[in-house]
Structure 1
């Protein structure tokens, strides 16, 4: 513990030497809906925390709804006295913030690794899954891909406006899947990449996607699943900030336009043993098929994680490369679980169902539990789409049905933790019901 504190203290002191103009540091963590909460600390107080002083925040901050309010969930929030819970600093995450008006720093905090971790904190959920896999001799290597849209900074009567193309105001004149769009938006995209790299994030590929103002960012492969999810979360935060600085609004909303493709979170996962052998490639790839079967079996029960809000369900079906069933295939982007072409060393799955605004810690945890279940059950999957285009299991397409399917699934309750599953499902149910408490103009047009 002393050595750990010494490392953190050295990190804070080095940061202060390199950034003497920074007076405050945002200590941040991801809540259940995937938004950051935290506190802004004077940098001299951060040094005390790094040296061992306690860092406490309300436990129930993790339970915030999408709009920041608290729901009555079991005895939490309104019957527990709103207790504090210990957090710790995540080493290696203290970085400068370049998109704010004043010099700032930011650093991730978490309850995992403390004496009493919060069972429903997303990072703690993923930590427990990874630790269990490591005890089994399974070591995941992970890479995220995130799609997002750029919009004009100002909304028009609450509705998004197309990003201002330097060469044309006509959204139909934006070249899709074309390198020219990367050039047109180069100033903001380059700043996003450089800012992410300053946060320690390995950006590999930038792609112009099909939607007007839509882009995809790929991250490097990591043998640390927690760090991979950290990268995805931190990239969303920095990208929104950089976009505003350039006069745009960056959004990871799953389906901002009905007539254009939605934005997804694609996760590449391969599994290795302690010696570095790819477990999925053994025995003529039989473990790969078992892992796929496990993913598909649990996928219908993980929909509140993969599609975490009302809008995210709009993304499923009817558009390019968005599946309507739990299915798989080789080199097939219509599949939820795609097997990219690769050599045995790099054999992996690409899980394509999650929306871009899903919580990356929970998405990865759910995928890994599916892979683990498949390896344990050792069952063959259904036919791939390459053999049968109708192959697949149905999954829920609305939140309340999805919550019911998730809450009673025994493998998920064991793999993710029963307390987390109950709390998460109630959070999503309450959030969905709160969203419904508004009558929109169309409802009056139809039924008045």
Structure 2
């Protein structure tokens, strides 16, 4: 414990030496909907926390709804006295914030690894899954890919406007994959990539996607699944900030335009043993088939995680590469679970169903739980799309149906934790009901 504190203290002191103009540091964590919450600490107080002083925040901050309000969930929020819970600093995450008007730092905090972790904290849910796999001698290697849209900074009566091409000042309203779009938006994209690298994130490939103003960023493969999810979460935060600095609005909203492709969170996962052998490639790739079968079996029960809001369900069955059934295939982007072509050493699955605004910790936890279940059950999957284009299993396409499918599934409750599943499902149910509590103009047009 003393060694851990000394490492953190050295990190804070080095940061202060390298960034003497930084007076405050944002201590941040991801809540259930995937938003950061936290506190802004004076740098002097951060040094005390690193040395061992308590760091406490309200436990129920994790339960915030999409709009920031609290819902009554069991005895939480309104019958528990709103207790504090201990958090800890995450080593290696203290970095400068370059997109704000004043010099700042930021650092991740979490309850996992404390004496009393919050069972429904997203990072703690993933930590439990990773720990269980490690005890079984299974070591995931993970890489995220995130799609997002750029919009004009100003909304038009609450509606997004196309991003302005900085060279022509025309709206980037033509969907295409042209490489020239990377050059036309090069200044903001380069800043996003460099800022992410300054946060310690390994940015690799940048792609202009099909939608107008839509791009994709790939991250490097990591043998630390938690760190991979940290990267995805931190990238969303920095990208929004950099976009605003350049006069744009960056959004990971799943389906901002009905007529154009939605934005997804694609996750590549391979599994290795302690000797570095790819477990999926053994025995003529039979474990790969078992893992795929487990993923597909749990997928219909994980839909509130993969599609965490009303808009995310709009993305399913959309214009390009968004499935409406649980399916798999080799080199097939219409499948939920794609097997990219690779050598046995790099054999992996690419899980393509989650929306870009899903919680990366929970998405990865759900995927790993499916893989683990498949390796245990040793069942063969349904036919791949390469053999049967109609192959697939139905999954819920509406939030309340999805919550019902998730809440009482025995395997999921065992793999992700019953307390988390109950809390998460009620959070999603309440968010969905709150979303419905507004009459839109269309209803008056149709029914008045």
Asked if residue 52 in structure 1 is aligned to residue 58 in structure 2, the reply is no
SS in 2 for 1:422: helix
Contact (CA 8 Å) 2:27, 2:106: kept in 1 or not?
A: yes
Q: CA RMSD in A?
A: 0.8
The size of the alignment, in residue pairs, is 448
SS of corresponding position for 1:380 = coil
CA shift digits 1:230-258 (9 cap, x unpaired): 00000000000000000000000000000
Report the CA distance between 1:143 and its aligned residue: 0.1
Out of 12-21 and 175-184, give the one that drifted further: 175-184
* 1:299/1:395 contact within 8 Å kept: yes
State the distance in 2 between where 1:163 and 1:395 align: 35
Give the CA deviation at 1:28: 0.0
User: TM-score, normalized by length of structure 2?
Assistant: 0.99
The gaps in structure 2 that reach 5 residues or longer are none
Rate the CA distance shift 1:175–1:417 in 2: closer, same or farther, 3 A. closer
Q: Deviations over 1:53-100 (max 9, x none)?
A: 000000000000000000000000000000000000000000000000
How far, CA to CA, are the matches of 1:356 and 1:318 in structure 2?
A: 14
Q: Give the superposition deviation at 1:126.
A: 0.0
Deviations 1:245-287 (A, max 9, x none): 0000000000000000000000000000000000000000000
Distance 1:114 1:318 in 2: 42
What aligned pairs does 1:328-347 form with structure 2 within 5 A after superposition?
Answer: 328-347=328-347
The residue number in structure 2 matching 1:109 is 109
Cα shift readout 1:330-385 (whole Å, capped 9, x = no counterpart): 00000000000000000000000000000000000000000000000000000000
Runs of 4+ off more than 3 Å: 167-175
Kept in 1, the 8 Å contact 2:163–2:172? The answer is no
* 1:24-73 per-position Cα deviation (integer Å, ceiling 9, x unaligned): 00000000000000000000000000000000000000000000000000
> Shift of the alpha carbon at 1:172?
6.3
- Offset of residue 167 of structure 1: 3.4
CA distance in 2, matches of 1:245, 1:435: 30
Confirm or deny: 8 A CA contact 1:165 1:174 kept in the other structure.
no
Asked if structure 1 preserves the Cα contact closer than 8 Å seen for 2:172 and 2:213, the reply is no
Q: Quote the offset at 1:318 in angstroms.
A: 3.1
What aligned pairs does 1:52-131 form with structure 2 within 5 A after superposition? 52-131=52-131
Aligned equivalents of 2:341, 2:100: Cα separation in 1: 42
Change in CA separation of 1:175 and 1:76 when aligned onto 2, cut-off 3 Å: closer
Give, in angstroms, the shift of residue 173 of structure 1. Answer: 6.0
Shift of 1:168: 3.8
Partner deviation per Cα, 1:146-184 (whole Å, 9 max, x = no partner): 000000000000000000012345546646111100000
Find the aligned partners of 1:203 and 1:294 in 2 and give their Cα distance.
30
1:281-323 per-residue CA deviation (whole Å, 9 max, x = no partner) reads 0000000000000000000000000000000000000310000
Tell me how far apart the structure 1 counterparts of residues 127 and 115 of structure 2 sit (CA, whole Å).
Answer: 14
Q: Name the CA distance, whole Å, in 1 between partners of 2:135 and 2:408.
A: 26
Gaps of 5+ in 1: none
* Equivalent residues of 1:312, 1:355 under 8 A apart: yes
Counterpart of 1:216?
Answer: 216
For residues 376 and 2 of structure 1, the distance between their equivalents in structure 2, rounded to whole angstroms, comes to 39
Deviations 1:88-146 (A, max 9, x none): 00000000000000000000000000000000000000000000000000000000000
Contact kept? 1:174, 1:181, Cα under 8 Å: no
Distance change (3 Å), C-alpha of 1:251 and 1:172? closer
Inter-partner Cα distance in structure 2 for 1:266 and 1:124:
21
SS of the equivalent of 2:87 reads strand
DSSP-derived class of the 1:269 partner: strand
Contact 2:173 2:213 in 1 (8 A): no
Secondary structure (helix, strand or coil) at the match of 1:375 reads: helix
